[in-house]
Structure 1
Amino acid sequence: MKSLSSKEYKNEFVNSFPGDDSGNLSPRQTPGVLYSKAMPTPVANPSLLAWSEELANELGIQKPNHPNDVAILGGNYVAPTMQPYAACYAGHQFGNWAGQLGDGRAITLGEWQTTAGTSWELQLKGAGRTPYSRRADGRAVLRSSVREYLMSEAMHYLGVPTTRALSLVTTGDQVLRDMFYNGNPAYEPGAIVMRVAPSFLRFGNFELLASRRENQHLRQLADWTISRYYPHLQGEDKYLQWFREVRDRTASLMVEWLRVGFVHGVMNTDNMSVLGLTIDYGPYSFVDDYDLNFTPNTTDLPGRRYAFGKQASVAYWNLGCFASAIAPLFSGTEELVKELEAYADIYSAYYLKMMGNKLGLDQVKAEDISLVTKFDETLAALKPDMTIFYQLLIDLPLHLTDEQELTAYFSESYYTPLTEAQATLLAGVLKEYIARIQQNTCSREESQQRMREHNPRFVLRNYLLSLAIEELEKGENTLFLQLQEAIKTPYSTDHDKFFVKRPDWATSKAGCSMLSCSS
Structure 2
Amino acid sequence: MNIDRIRQPFIKKFPGDFSNNPMQRNTPKVLLATTQPAGFDQPQLIAFNEKLSEEIGLGKFDEKDLDFLVGSNLPENIQTYATAYAGHQFGNWAGQLGDGRAILAGEITNDSGRKTEIQWKGAGATPYSRHADGRAVLRSSVREYLMSEAMYHLKVPTTRALSLTFSGEEVVRDMMYDGNPQLEKGAVVIRTAESFLRFGHFELMSAQREYKTLQELADFTIENYYPEITSSGIQRYKDFFGNICTRTANLMVEWFRVGFVHGVMNTDNMSILGLTIDYGPYSMMDEYDLNFTPNTTDLPGRRYAFGKQGQISQWNLWQLANALHPLIEDEKFLEDTLNHFGTYFWEAHDTMLCKKFGFDELKEEDEEFFTNWQGLMQEVQFDYTLFFNQLEKLTSETNLEEHFKNVSYLAWDEEKLRKLEDFIRKYRSRLALNSISKEDSLALMKKTNPKFILRNYLLYECIEEINSGKTEMLEKLTKALETPYEELFPEFSRKRPSDYNDTTGCSTLSCSS
Instruction: Give 1:483 shift.
Output: 0.6
Partner in structure 2 of residue 246 of structure 1: 244
Instruction: Give 1:275 shift.
Output: 0.3
CA distance in 1, matches of 2:51, 2:428: 40
Gaps of 5+ in 1: none
Match of 1:134, SS? coil
Query: Is 1:21 aligned to 2:18, yes or no?
Result: yes
Residue 462 (structure 2) aligned to one of 462, 468, 472: 468
- CA deviation map 1:360-399 (0-9, x unaligned): 0111122222212221222122211111111000111145
Partner in structure 2 of residue 391 of structure 1: 389
CA distance in 1, matches of 2:308, 2:73: 43
CA distance in 1, matches of 2:489, 2:325: 49
Query: Is 1:33 aligned to 2:27, yes or no?
Result: no
Instruction: Give 1:82-231 correspondences, 5 Å limit.
Output: 82-231=78-227
CA distance in 1, matches of 2:453, 2:403: 22
CA contact (8 A) 1:4 1:72 kept: no
Instruction: Give 1:358-373 correspondences, 5 Å limit.
Output: 358-373=356-371
Q: Which amino acid in the other structure matches residue 153 of structure 1?
A: E
CA distance in 1, matches of 2:315, 2:420: 34
Residue 409 (structure 1) aligned to one of 403, 416, 434: 403
Q: Which amino acid in the other structure matches residue 513 of structure 1?
A: S
Instruction: Give 1:209 shift.
Output: 0.8
Partner in structure 1 of residue 281 of structure 2: 283
Match of 1:314, SS? helix
CA distance in 1, matches of 2:319, 2:417: 43
Partner in structure 1 of residue 499 of structure 2: 505
- CA deviation map 1:217-237 (0-9, x unaligned): 111101110111112212230
CA distance in 2, matches of 1:116, 1:491: 29
Residue 314 (structure 1) aligned to one of 308, 312, 315: 312
Percentage of matched positions with identical amino acids? 49
Q: Which amino acid in the other structure matches residue 440 of structure 1?
A: N
CA distance in 2, matches of 1:441, 1:132: 56
CA distance in 2, matches of 1:481, 1:66: 20
Instruction: Give 1:417 shift.
Output: 2.1
CA contact (8 A) 2:171 2:186 kept: yes
CA contact (8 A) 2:57 2:109 kept: no
Partner in structure 1 of residue 472 of structure 2: 478
CA distance in 2, matches of 1:57, 1:411: 45
CA distance in 2, matches of 1:301, 1:66: 45
CA contact (8 A) 1:4 1:64 kept: no
Partner in structure 2 of residue 426 of structure 1: 420
Give the structure-2-normalised TM-score.
0.98
Measured on the aligned residues, the alpha-carbon RMSD in Å equals 1.2
Instruction: Give 1:78 shift.
Output: 1.8
Gaps of 5+ in 2: none
CA contact (8 A) 2:262 2:281 kept: yes
CA distance in 1, matches of 2:404, 2:377: 12
Instruction: Give 1:32 shift.
Output: 1.3
Partner in structure 2 of residue 305 of structure 1: 303
Q: Which amino acid in the other structure matches residue 96 of structure 1?
A: N
CA contact (8 A) 1:383 1:415 kept: yes
- CA deviation map 1:80-129 (0-9, x unaligned): 22121101001000111100110000000010111111111000000001
Q: Which amino acid in the other structure matches residue 447 of structure 2?
A: E
CA contact (8 A) 2:148 2:160 kept: yes
Partner in structure 2 of residue 455 of structure 1: 449
Give the structure-1-normalised TM-score.
0.96
Instruction: Give 1:148 shift.
Output: 0.3
CA contact (8 A) 2:271 2:277 kept: yes
Instruction: Give 1:9 shift.
Output: 2.0
Change (3 A) 1:93 1:175: same
Residue 71 (structure 2) aligned to one of 46, 67, 75: 75
Runs of 4+ in 1 over 4 A off after TM superposition: none
Match of 1:366, SS? coil
Match of 1:510, SS? coil
CA contact (8 A) 1:289 1:386 kept: yes
CA distance in 2, matches of 1:174, 1:413: 40
Work out the number of aligned pairs and report it.
511
Match of 2:41, SS? coil
- CA deviation map 1:396-451 (0-9, x unaligned): 11456xxxx43432112011124444333222121111111122221111111110
